[in-house]
Structure 1
């Protein structure tokens, strides 16, 4: 007698078990084939559908994995199935659905540390901080040795200002996982935020987070050995080990190239917003722009959205306020999407209230909710003002809530991930067309400088030199940039200038840290410059800062990360600046500002020429006086200070960008330029 043929369910079970063995051995393609055979043999085999979904998700095919797990759930409700469904949703950027699936799994009795940790991350992301804390604590209760949940709780506590609790959590997590680089990075970030910079340096180094080490050391003017640390940071980018590396912190590294900076941005984005970048766009690129432009040409308005945490921050306001105030409300419907801060004082609140804009406070919304709000508002062109700077929420733009997205002003570089922004606003000096390959965005070039200026900024009463801590006589070189922009190379040139200009002094912004002050004095002393000739300017309110600036005779730009608002402030105050263009966007802004104010002759071809120009200005009073006269005249008519003209140019650029998006890809010029 022949043996009976196996029933479909028996054959399906056998295939399922073999597929599960292959999955556990990480043989995903073989596992997929076996599990597909299993569900073909028995379409009602829920466990086979579930594991097929898991194997598809492991291959980054999350949407297919979701559908397979939903087939399993249609056959049999299971907390384990819900848990893995949440995983596929998480990787698709569907956070709200993932939260619901995780909560359903918990209600069905699944209690796993990883589940609670992932749930905590999602709740924190949507600013549900109390529930996020509860989820992290549930993860720790389930597995007291789960260091990463303890670390996530520490980060949440730190951000809430609960420093003692946060530090205790960090120490507990690091005791459990002393080699965990990400934990050391997060602990270092907390220490840095508390201005415990030496401890932050040690924590970052312990975790091998060399990009953070170099940044903290530059803040401390601790320049010894930085070349090796910089190379280690660049090696992290090259090896792919830099997923959590913040691209903005790299800008002070002299050896950083535009290509490596773009690559760092790409890796950071793909690790930080993997789910959002994989999700279906909320709004298709270019959708509705042809109709919007037709209505605009017939007298309608283009709807422009600005996205930032800094609308109420003094540093941003002194650049952006004039543009927002002068937008043509008859042609442009301006919306501000703000996710941080409050208006700094009553005068600013009064001024902001008069802007022709609609303000949306979205700080309590998750990225998905904020993106949905922007999409519902029908924004035609969304302008992100933060990039990779502190507090940015690029998860919003990753979800594509508008038909075209632009990066401008806050971050001087490429975001690296094309989905985060379609265009980057620059100018022909800061972002020359020949550098287009350095950007994942299309360059959109303003005719003068990309940086705006506030036509209504004012200063307090000018102090005397003595009141500002300056000597009664002598030439005053100044560089009131943040300390991390300084370095041994540029400071050595300043030493030569001081040596060649008897009686001169160097005026620097106070670093705000005693170790940094000591390091700077030690460096200059090693180069023969007495401590009395290096004077630190205290940090003061903006009106007082603008009032004291004219006491300086010459501003000295920095490289590789140059003067941005610092340079604009100096020029507005009538202080000439000498600059040399660097390789990076961040190092070419000074040259852009000088060109826009008509002082191209102060743009040096290299650092040797930079020294010669600065020396000549310091030692030729007649030429120096003529340059200051030219700058004083420029205050009334130069493009750099003509906010109304800048705003009209910016509006024309927005229209040109929208028009370019309506053309077929083959017909688009590589760079948008407003003449």
Structure 2
């Protein structure tokens, strides 16, 4: 009896079933082999091509996954295949194509909550907020129990300032999925934005988002149980247990290492900008730089772009304004790309109008549109001034709109993801060459301090001590750092100083929170320091703040994150600062400032040495007077205060970076 062999269609059906079983079991290698066997035997098998594409995409092989799904669509269009095509496009950063695919799926009858939710995310990212809200609400209509859609709708409402509606949506999401850590993280963020810090703390702890819990506690000087919370936070960083773990908020943790900080940056970037990091670069690295160097040598100009949200009366601009004014317009074509608050007071507006630079307001553009504009302008070197600080839009640099990208000034550390920036501007104190392994970027070293100073800043007339809320007599220690930089160890050193220097007071920046003020007073009282010896200074405009700073006798730096703009302000106002070198970039800025002003002897190796230097200065009026006299001379002599010199050094460094891109090289780049 003759036994007939299986038909091609029956064999394909068997292979397809087995492949789907392997795909559902996440055995992707086996599933891929089975689907490939089908299409090799039957190239017209649309479903096999579709499932092969899904299998490849789940292995993060998005481009071949897209190609396979497109082959399936060419054979037979369907809503399901359009949906899966959209997913592969998202991961390649091709948002507009993904939106089109999702709409095609919807037009063919697809009604899935996840599809509508993903579409909402894409529309929100593209600033199409009206239709993003419609998409999120459609997801909820399809599946009222879909917590993620409720959460995403809440974030949309929060960004629009509709806090009550946002909170209602988040509470609905938490009722549906009360164990979801990311929902508690979002709820805590909403509460924190409204300055409901106790509630935010509780929400973060409920969701075990320890990195946010420690940060909000530091904001109000609530230091209880921080050792445990810090340990749990660093375990989260090391294990990668939490997505969207913001690196900036980690800087107050004393045990944070440079390696862990870099790792936190890498993980944050890869979860926040997955699509952009996977997209094809708009401009190839190094493209056109050889021609730019040749043109520069013949009298042409390098096109430099600065990217920031802070081109207004912001702390960063108080440092940078003088540099922007001092750029050599004959050699450098400067472009400012602003995505933040474009309003400026009259004085700032006059300065910006006079800058040798072209201003571009890109606040209304998507990241993709902004990146395309920068690429179209032919920028040779793009400088991101934000890093992982608030309002960052590193999605722009992730799309690679320039042949070389530099990180500078705003964020004191590595971004962790090499595609976000090729170079990090530092100096030999904050980023010594032997620390290069802690940075995904190549180090670019300024000859003095990496941080500029605006030589046109005005201090204003010194007020009376009474007008500033200070006693008529007694030495004034000051630290005008943000409250999150303070900690029990640092405050204990300050308490020892106050106890050792009779009649002295500690002048702190008002944290803007009654709870924070109460916590700080309670801590110092527990250390034997009377409440009236800790004085809070209200926030003032820059000129008035610099004027009152002249009343201080000695500035006290902080660790593990130290004084940045705060330290520069103190030195500009003629107030010496005592510092100690920390383990992080963020903890060595004070040392760099002091080195660049010729007062390196005020930098201690540890907190015991810090205490001894501060006590010595406070107890020896002659030594303190001599230091203040040297600082006064430095204002007209030291490189820290010479803005034009700093700008020429920066320009030489930029040219050296471009030359290294053209010629290659090893190790750090230095200004030549």
User: TM-score by structure 2 length?
Assistant: 0.99
Distance 1:292 1:453 in 2: 29
What pairs up with 1:508-523 in 2 under 5 angstroms? 508-523=508-523
Q: Helix, strand or coil: the match of 1:252?
A: coil
**Aligned residue number for residue 304 of structure 2:** 304
Matched with 1:502 is 502
What does residue 467 of structure 1 align with? Answer: 467
Contact 2:262 2:415 in 1 (8 A): yes
Shift of 1:3: 4.0
SS at match of 2:550: helix
Partner residue in 2 for 1:37 = 37
Partner of 1:368: 368
40-49 vs 198-207, which moves further: 40-49
How far apart, CA to CA, are the structure 2 residues paired with 1:582 and 1:611?
15
8 A Cα contact 2:210 2:233, kept in partner: yes
* Aligned pairs, number: 672
| 75-84 or 586-595, which deviates more | 75-84
Give the Cα–Cα distance (whole angstroms) in 1 for the partners of residues 10 and 381 of structure 2: 58
Q: How does 1:18-57 map to 2 (within 5 A)?
A: 18-57=18-57
- Quick check: 1:313–1:343 contact (8 Å CA) kept in 2? no
Which residue of the partner structure matches residue 545 of structure 1?
A: 545
Q: Deviation at 1:415?
A: 0.6
Partner of 1:577: 577
Q: 1:313 to 1:119 in 2, by over 3 A?
A: farther
Q: What SS does the aligned partner of 1:551 have?
A: coil
Distance in 1, matches of 2:81 and 2:281, equals 27
* CA–CA separation in structure 2 for the residues paired with 1:112 and 1:333: 50
Q: Distance in 1 between the 2:577 and 2:634 partners?
A: 14
Q: Which residue of 2 aligns with 1:99?
A: 99
Q: Is residue 655 from structure 1 mapped to residue 655 from structure 2 by the alignment? A: yes
In structure 2, the residue matched to 1:231 is 231
For the Cα contact (< 8 Å) 2:342–2:361, is it kept in 1? no
Q: Which runs of 5+ in 2 are unaligned?
A: none
| CA drift at 1:435 | 0.8
Give, in angstroms, the shift of residue 128 of structure 1. Answer: 1.4
* Superposition pairs of residues 485-634 of structure 1, within 5 angstroms: 485-634=485-634
Q: Deviation of residue 542 (structure 1)?
A: 1.3
Distance 2:489 2:319 in 1: 30
Contact 2:313-2:348 within 8 A present in 1 as well: no
How far has the Cα of 1:461 moved from its partner? 3.3
The CA deviation string for residues 124-162 of structure 1, in whole angstroms up to 9 with x for no partner, is 111111111111111111111111110111111111110
In structure 2, how many angstroms separate the alpha carbons of the residues matched to 1:143 and 1:495? 58
Q: Is the 8 A contact 1:444 1:672 kept in 2?
A: yes
Query: Hey, what does 1:670 align to over in structure 2?
Result: 667
How far did residue 320 of structure 1 move?
1.0
| Residues in 2 aligned to 1:313 and 1:73: alpha-carbon distance in whole angstroms | 54
1:283 to 2:283 alignment: yes
Give distance in 2, aligned partners of 1:649 and 1:58. 48
The corresponding residue for 2:260 is 260
Please state whether the residue corresponding to 1:396 is helix, strand or coil.
helix
**Contact 1:313/1:341 (CA < 8 Å) preserved in 2?**
no
> 1:272-319: per-residue Cα shift (whole Å, max 9, x none)?
112211222111111111111111111111111111111124212101
- CA distance in 2 between partners of 1:573 and 1:482 (Å): 19
Matched, 1:147 2:147: yes
CA–CA separation in structure 2 for the residues paired with 1:325 and 1:627: 31
Separation in structure 2 between the aligned mates of residue 505 and residue 405 of structure 1, nearest angstrom: 45
Q: CA deviation at 1:374?
A: 1.2
1:350 aligns with 2:350: yes
Matched residue, 1:389: 389
Correspondences of 1:31-430 after superposition (within 5 Å): 31-430=31-430
Work out the CA distance in 2 between the residues paired with 1:375 and 1:317. 25
CA distance in 1, matches of 2:52, 2:313: 51
Q: Supply the distance in 1 between the matched residues of 2:332 and 2:545 (Cα, whole angstroms).
A: 34
Taking the aligned partners of 2:251 and 2:313, their CA distance within structure 1 comes to 22
* CA contact 1:242–1:267 (8 Å) conserved in 2: no
Report the secondary structure of 1:611's partner residue: helix
Q: CA RMSD in A?
A: 1.1
Is contact 2:508-2:536 (8 Å) kept?
A: yes
> Which SS does the other structure have where 1:173 is aligned?
helix
Contact between 1:11 and 1:41, CA under 8 Å: does it hold in 2?
no
Partner Cα separation in structure 2 for residue 352 and residue 604 of structure 1: 39
SS in 2 for 1:662: helix
1:5 shift after superposition: 3.7
Q: SS of the counterpart of 2:334?
A: strand
- Taking the aligned partners of 1:318 and 1:115, their CA distance within structure 2 comes to 46
Query: Does the 8 Å contact 2:448/2:640 carry over to 1?
Result: yes
Secondary structure of residue in 2 paired with 1:444: strand
Shift of residue 14 of structure 1? 2.5
CA offset at residue 400 of structure 1? 1.1
| Gap regions ≥5 residues in structure 1 | none
How far the C-alpha of 1:6 sits from its partner, in A, is 3.7
Aligned mates of 1:419, 1:313 — CA distance in 2? 30
Whole-angstrom distance in 1 between the partners of 2:628 and 2:343: 35
